[in-house]
Structure 1
Amino acid sequence: MNQWIAKWLAAALLCLAALAGSAIYLLQTGQPASHREQDALAQTARVKVNELLLYLERHLHEIRSGNHDEELGMLSRTGEIDVLVLALDGSILFDSTGEAKTAYNPRLLLTYDRLANDEDSGRYNIAYPIIDEREDTQIGNAVFSMSRLSLSSSLPSPVWLASTPYLLPAVLAIIMSGLLLLMVWKMRNRMMKPLLKLKDHSEQILNGNYGEIAEYDKQDEIGELYAVFDQMRAEIKHLDTRRVEQDRARKELITNISHDLKTPLTTVKAYIEAIREGVCPDMDSVMAYVDVMKSNTDKMSRLTEDLLLHALQDLGQISVHLREQYSRSLFEDMVKPIAHYARSTGVIIHEPRSIPDVLISADSQRLEQVIGNLVMNALKHTRPEDTIRIDIERTADDLAVTIADTGTGISPEDMPFVFERYYQGRSNKAEAALPTDGSGLGLSICKYIVEAHHGMISFRSVRGEGTRFTFTIPVL
């Protein structure tokens, strides 16, 4: 498109320059076509009578005495020119027509080198002085008369060439008009129609139809616009699909949490009713019931905490208050209660042998949620006698916290969606029919909290061998 516009502008500027040149030429000459035609006829007449004029200059003395009349008459008839020869006093020396008067007033008759048009007879008259070649003095005058037809046929070039300066602007004006029409056609077919088509695509998107692809067959600026527009359409379609999936996942989440809360609540209620009715014969039985109720209330507490954090994350209101503190005492207070709980489930857990004591900027409550979520996630995918290892190491600029397990691992098809909200992967096909223990929010919340600490979280998992999660906190 840019190349086409550049070529069009170059052609238009060239035509304008030619028009300006023609106008300047016409202003400088200032002579209409009829005058130039008269000048061309006068020049042709001079050439036509040149032979007769030379003959008169050489033989005028003999012509005065009556000699050379026949030869002069023959030259006159051959050239189709009537000749009137006058002495300086206006007396007639020779007249090829024989119709001349006895004398003429030279001042009235003679206008040298000027072509006079006799409308009545249809002839042109022109006069020249006769100069003596030897003495270089005027010795007489000659008046030549030629028919208009014979003079016009003797022109050295067509008369229409004299109108060339006027024809050129007309031709340039026609070219400019053609360029303008071409530009209008190009603008309509190469710009307006594609843009109107793009407007229709926009209306389709507004109406929720994201499947119609915007295509353009030329690789120019409009084609680039179409390509960007179609990328936008594809992105909007993707976001709309994600929105629909998230809405469906949100509804499933509410259903799952309702189910997950109902089961422990029913269990707790049943055990309380059993204690009230005296089913337990001794204190040991009561304490066993209390342990079951505590386990179920812990589960409900985790679910409600995840749900609260999810709501705060949607609102962008998960508060992370960073405070400078040393890492050793901070992580020791986090790891010990979590490790104690993990051991109570029958899983072997290894605490870090040593914790680097470096200065970090952290929110202890939020980091405890991250470690707790990662450990609980590992417990969901491990069996008794499996191992969970917690390591805390200093790298170049960060403090790296790793929670690794020897559980079932994550299936490859689940890996791209691990940190997405509501997503609950299945460890294998046999587990697909089992109810899920969780909301699908934990890892998404972990990622949010770690990034709020200006760190990064990643994982590595091998199916059947286990999973390793690592997150970093910058060291000050």
Structure 2
Amino acid sequence: MRLNFSSRSIAVLLSVLVATVLTALVFIAPTLPLQQGVLAAGITIAACFLLLYLMFEALIFREVNNIYEGLEHIKRKEFRRMSSKFLFRPEPLKRMRDEILDMALRKQQEIDELRRLQELRREFLADVSHELKTPIFAAQGFVHTVLDEEEEGNGMDAGTRRKFLRKAATSLDALDTLVQDLVTISQLEKGVLRMRRQPFDLAQLVRDIFEQLELKAAQRQVHLELLEPAPGTPAGPVRVLADRNRIRQVLINLIDNAIKYGREQGHVRVSLQPTGKNVRISVQDDGEGIPKQHQNRIFERFYRIDKSRTRESRAAGGSGLGLAISKHIVEAHKSTIRVRSELGQGTTLEFKLPRPKVEVRSEK
């Protein structure tokens, strides 16, 4: 048979037991009258009951009840409704309750993270299917047009056929770029793609990139400017210890975006500033700027600030993955890309790279 005891019933039993013992001792004493003995027994029972009831209720039963309610919230997955407030803190019960609250907090964080990842996964699959569909349908349309003309015997002239096939090839090249970028991101996230760090002249790399993007900048009449320490100063030339090819990829993405989204007839400035053991690299444009609600998300894969930028990026041959790849490459170098932007004043993206240790020691 299962017995259910409450704090009140336990207090009554213990107080009666204590009072019985004390009353027996009182009756053994010959000098105490019967009425006073009964009165002493009643007062003893009342006092013992009150003290024991408060002790069990406040110190033990109420706390155990709070723990039980916490377990019920965990069972119903209502982690946020759990409370850490209770009156007294007997050490074993306090530790037990703290463990339960910590477990509930961890579970809630895991659930929130899973929901966030599920939403990102849903968005990513939708974006990938959309980005893959566009070049595939375009190439398919051009190729089928050429085939239909041949089958119908209309005799499409060689110039028109070449034009359609060139457009199909351009769409397939865009598809290849997208797939290669997806593979690169996957390798970076898994840590398969290793960084081959070696010292190199960062300023010279930026100049090479300026030459590569010179035509694109000229089309928008954008002036490219490199800010670096003077060659004769202790800080020059600017050398870093990093994977040259991957940093080249990062800088091409950042400078290309600055040209593309900056102001026409504007400026794109690349600043190289040695700061102790590192070099701070910043790419600044004078475009419209990025709203604050978008600044933390621009490095997500296929993230769109607005549709016009998406169309512009696709028309320029971008995959929509450049900033995401850049973020992963910089993080693989133990650094972080930071964004500073205000509407109407342009955007600055910056990160740091380590300098070769020999050069840092020589400055000291």
- TM-score by length of structure 1 reads 0.52
Higher relative contact order by CA 8 Å / sep ≥ 6: 1 or 2? 2
Structure 1 residue 390: Cα displacement: 3.1
For 1:256-267, list aligned pairs within 5 A: 256-263=130-137, 265-266=139-140
Say whether 1:450 aligns with 2:330.
Answer: yes
* Contact 2:143–2:165 (8 Å) recurs in 1: no
Gaps of 5+ in 1: 1-15, 20-25, 27-31, 38-158
For 1:142-221, list aligned pairs within 5 A: 159-160=31-32, 182-186=54-58, 189-205=61-77, 213-215=81-83, 218=86
Task: Give SS of 1:456's match.
Answer: coil
Tell me the residue number matched to 1:369: 249
Equivalent residue letter for 1:310: I
Task: Provide the rounded CA distance (Å) in 2 between the counterparts of 1:182 and 1:367.
Answer: 69
Which has more helix, going by share of residues?
2
Task: Provide the rounded CA distance (Å) in 2 between the counterparts of 1:290 and 1:465.
Answer: 43
* Contact 2:174–2:319 (8 Å) recurs in 1: no
* Contact 1:373–1:443 (8 Å) recurs in 2: yes
Task: Provide the rounded CA distance (Å) in 2 between the counterparts of 1:445 and 1:342.
Answer: 21
Task: Give SS of 2:68's match.
Answer: helix
Tell me the residue number matched to 1:311: 186
Tell me the residue number matched to 2:297: 417
**2:157 aligned to 257, 275, 279, which one?**
279
* Contact 1:459–1:467 (8 Å) recurs in 2: yes
Say whether 1:242 aligns with 2:116.
Answer: yes
For 1:113-128, list aligned pairs within 5 A: none
Tell me the residue number matched to 1:138: none
* Contact 1:213–1:230 (8 Å) recurs in 2: no
Structure 1 residue 267: Cα displacement: 6.8
Structure-2 change in CA distance of 1:409 and 1:400 (3 Å): same
Equivalent residue letter for 1:204: R
Structure-2 change in CA distance of 1:392 and 1:378 (3 Å): same
Which 10-residue stretch deviates more, 431-440 or 299-308?
431-440
Task: Provide the rounded CA distance (Å) in 2 between the counterparts of 1:370 and 1:184.
Answer: 66
Equivalent residue letter for 1:388: V
Structure 1 residue 230: Cα displacement: 6.8
Aligned identity (percent) is: 19
For 1:322-337, list aligned pairs within 5 A: 322-328=196-202, 331-332=205-206, 335-336=209-210
User: Which of the pair has more CA radius of gyration?
Assistant: 1
Structure 1 residue 255: Cα displacement: 1.9
**1:391 aligned to 245, 248, 271, which one?**
271
* Contact 1:391–1:401 (8 Å) recurs in 2: yes
Task: Provide the rounded CA distance (Å) in 2 between the counterparts of 1:271 and 1:403.
Answer: 44
**1:431 aligned to 301, 304, 308, which one?**
308
Aligned residues: CA RMSD: 5.0
For 1:126-141, list aligned pairs within 5 A: none
Task: Give SS of 2:247's match.
Answer: helix
Structure 1 residue 362: Cα displacement: 0.6
* Contact 1:256–1:439 (8 Å) recurs in 2: no
Structure-2 change in CA distance of 1:323 and 1:342 (3 Å): same
Equivalent residue letter for 1:250: F
Task: Provide the rounded CA distance (Å) in 1 between the counterparts of 2:262 and 2:147.
Answer: 33
